[in-house]
Amino acid sequence: MRTKFDVKTEAIFRAVYSALERGMAVIGPTQVAEELGISKSTAYKMLNELSEAGYGVYVPKKGLLINEKGEMKAKEAIRMHRLIECLLAELGVEDFCREAEKIGMVAGSSFVEALEARYGDRKVCPCGKKIPEV
């Protein structure tokens, strides 16, 4: 059963996942700041919070070295995002990626379960990216 992320956490895990997709296991504050449009000091704080929560180890001057638990959470976050995109694309929503981002921040578990039931067997999202298995 997935847990509901808070707004910031959901977004940061998607940033973590995009780093993993590019083959990076360490994600730094500069990258997070750029991807989420936040300040570097906020990004630094968020990464340290993830480290404290057990999602990785913060390596000074480098960034968060993501562990298995962190990778799992990141996959869950991106999977939800891409399943929401499937729904929105089917509804004919044009900027489904941006809309999915907003919806993902407030999605509850029964919504996610319904998405899984309907789109859970999809391999790629409407923009052609792989939907990770969790």
What track of x and - describes contact with Zn ion for positions 40 through 79 (by CB under 5 A)? Answer: ----------------------------------------
Q: How far is the CB of 30 from Zn ion (least distance, A)?
A: 24
Q: How far is the CB of 51 from Zn ion (least distance, A)?
A: 28
Q: Which is nearer to Zn ion, 23 or 128 (CB)?
A: 128
77, 85, 104, 107: which one contacts Zn ion (CB under 5 A)? 85
Q: How far is the CB of 89 from Zn ion (least distance, A)?
A: 9
CA angle 15, 17, 19 (to 5 degrees): 75
Q: Per CB under 5 A, does 88 bind Zn ion?
A: no
The bridge status of strand 26-27 relative to strand 56-59 is: unpaired
Main-chain dihedrals φ then ψ at residue 66, nearest 5 degrees: -75, 135
Residue 13: both structure tokens together: 């895990």
Q: Which is nearer to Zn ion, 44 or 85 (CB)?
A: 85
Residue 35: both structure tokens together: 């991807």
Calculate the alpha carbon distances from 105 to 13, 30, 98, 99, 100 in Å.
11, 22, 11, 10, 9
Cβ–Cβ < 8 Å for 26, 59 = yes
Q: Per CB under 5 A, does 125 bind Zn ion?
A: yes
Q: How far is the CB of 97 from Zn ion (least distance, A)?
A: 6
Residues that bind Zn ion (CB under 5 A): 85, 125, 127, 129
